[in-house]
Structure 1
C-alpha cells in the first residue's frame, strides 16, 4: 500500500497511533493479569513494534526532502 497524499498519510498515522496506544493499554492489562497468556502477550508486543516502525516510516515520508 503506497499512500502518497500527505492528508492520507496523516489520517493513516492517526489511526496507527490509536491502535498503538490501545495495544499499550492491552499489554499493560495482560502483563499484570493472573494466568496471563505469554504467547498472546508476545504477539501483542511484536504487533506494537511493527506499528511503531510503520509510524516512523510514514512520519519520515511527511518530512520534505531538502537538497543540501
Structure 2
C-alpha cells in the first residue's frame, strides 16, 4: 500500500473537499492535528478512478 500526501492551500479548500467526498459517498476522515491545530484529511483505500476526479487539482506535498 502506498501513502500519498497532497497539499491543500487553505482550510476552506479542505472543508469543501470534505463536503464533495461526502456527497460522492467516498469514505474519509477529517481530524485536527494537535498541538499545531492543523486540519488533516484521510481517505480509505479507494480505486484511483473513483477518487481521482476529486483530488486531481491538488499537488503532491513537497
After TM superposition, is the score higher than 0.5? Answer: no
Structure holding more strand per residue:
2
Higher Cα Rg: structure 1 or 2?
A: 1
Compare the two structures and name the one with the higher helix fraction: 1
> Normalised by the size of structure 2, how large is the TM-score?
0.32
Q: TM-score, normalised by structure 1?
A: 0.30
